[in-house]
Chains A and B, each alone.
Chain A
Amino acid sequence: MGVIRSFKKNFSNFFKKLFNKKNARIGIYGPPNAGKTTLANRIVRDWTGDAMGSVSHIAHETRRARRREGVTIQSNGGSISLDIIDTPGLATKIDFHEFMEQGMNEAESKRRAKEATEGVIEAVKWLENLDGVILVMDATEDPYTQVNVTVIGNMEARSLPLLIVANKVDLPESSPSTIREAFPQHPMVAISALEGKNIETFYDEIAKRFG
């Protein structure tokens, strides 16, 4: 417990130094099904004991941005407060037939597709209102997607801090080194948000990047 408490203190200190203000907005971005909500849930649960949203294997399960304000971290008698924004998966195309393949009827599939398009719009708009981004990639997939390229490009253009997360390293086919080689100019940490593997290193990397 002492190690965790010490680690949390360091984490909060680094964030405090970085943003030097309260309620810094950190967006969690990535393509659908990369594990964004699973990671958001873990962050919020670690610091508040709560959760942010439901997780599903169906793409675009998160169709509205979820904002958890004031995730307060106590440190050395003081505290900092973060806003964690779990965004819908970014995509350039949404075909309602893909929802039908998941067993939904046509009307429901079309409704979900429409909601998904609205979610992508919301996610893009949030890009302009953030203090930093955690970009979640599925370590079992090819990292050179347009979504990843676009998010990274936007953060670079705005000179905002970015941390790449290679998620799902609990799966045997995962290859986080492929992600590291694809975007060597940015820090990357390999984790399993689902199992919590390497999660303390994840927080430590946030601190190093943003501190």
Chain B
Amino acid sequence: MQGIQMDLVSEDRLAKMPPVEKIRFIIDEVKSGKILVLEKGLTPEEEATLIEMTMTQIQPDDFAGIEMESYPSQPDGSLIGKLFKKNVVRTRLTVIGPANKLKTLKKDRDMISALVSNK
């Protein structure tokens, strides 16, 4: 059966990984053609690192980069977060895929519409 593999990655799966390993995992999976949906999403710093590392992987006629979409992160309003950490943000779902297979159709604060193509 032909198709595109979409992996729904739990928060627990990524939480076990150090940051570098997490980014490496994402890039390797996306370069192999998969589309990832991350339950928790990435922090803004991780997103920036992912963009940076993606740029090092781009090859003409092979890999043109990624399509990544996430909802804007939100401040952590919990009491524990306020007491013990500064500037904690609550990350939300992130969708990442190869740029040639995933295209964002529409996005707003709480909705992402994407087109997945096998062409």
Contact = CB atoms under 8 A, between A and B. Distances in A.
Interface of A: 90-96, 110, 113, 117-118, 120-121, 124-125, 127, 142, 144-146, 149-150, 152-154, 156-159, 182-183
Contact of A93 (B69, B89, B99): B99
A154 B66 contact: no
B107 interface: yes
Given A92-B65, A182-B109, A150 B58 contact: no
A116 B44 CA distance: 22
Nearest to A106: B60
Interface residues of B, number: 32
Given A92-B68, A117-B56, 12 more contacts: A90-B51, A94-B65, A95-B64, A117-B58, A120-B51, A146-B68, A146-B70, A149-B72, A152-B44, A153-B44, A154-B45, A156-B73
B47 interface: yes
A159 B86 CA distance: 9
A124 B56 CA distance: 12
B55 A121 contact: yes
Say what secondary structure dominates the interface of chain A: helix
Contacts of B51: 90-92, 120, 124, 150
A117 B69 CA distance: 19
B52 A92 contact: no
A154 B65 contact: no
Contacts of A146: 47, 68-70
Interface in B86-110: 86-87, 89, 99, 106-109
Contacts of B72: 149, 152-153, 183
A93 B65 contact: yes
B67 to A, nearest CB: 7
Nearest to A95: B64
B52 A120 contact: yes
Interface of B: 43-45, 47-49, 51-52, 54-56, 58, 60, 64-73, 75, 86-87, 89, 99, 106-109
A91 to B, nearest CB: 7
The 8 lowest CB-CB distance pairs between A and B, nearest first, are A153-B44, A93-B65, A93-B99, A117-B55, A124-B52, A95-B64, A144-B107, A150-B47
Nearest to B94: A146
A189 B44 CA distance: 24
13 contacts: A92-B66, A94-B65, A95-B65, A96-B60, A124-B48, A124-B52, A127-B48, A144-B109, A150-B44, A152-B44, A156-B73, A157-B45, A182-B109
A93 B45 contact: no
Given A120-B55, A124-B48, A93 B64 contact: yes
B99 to A, nearest CB: 4
B35 to A, nearest CB: 14
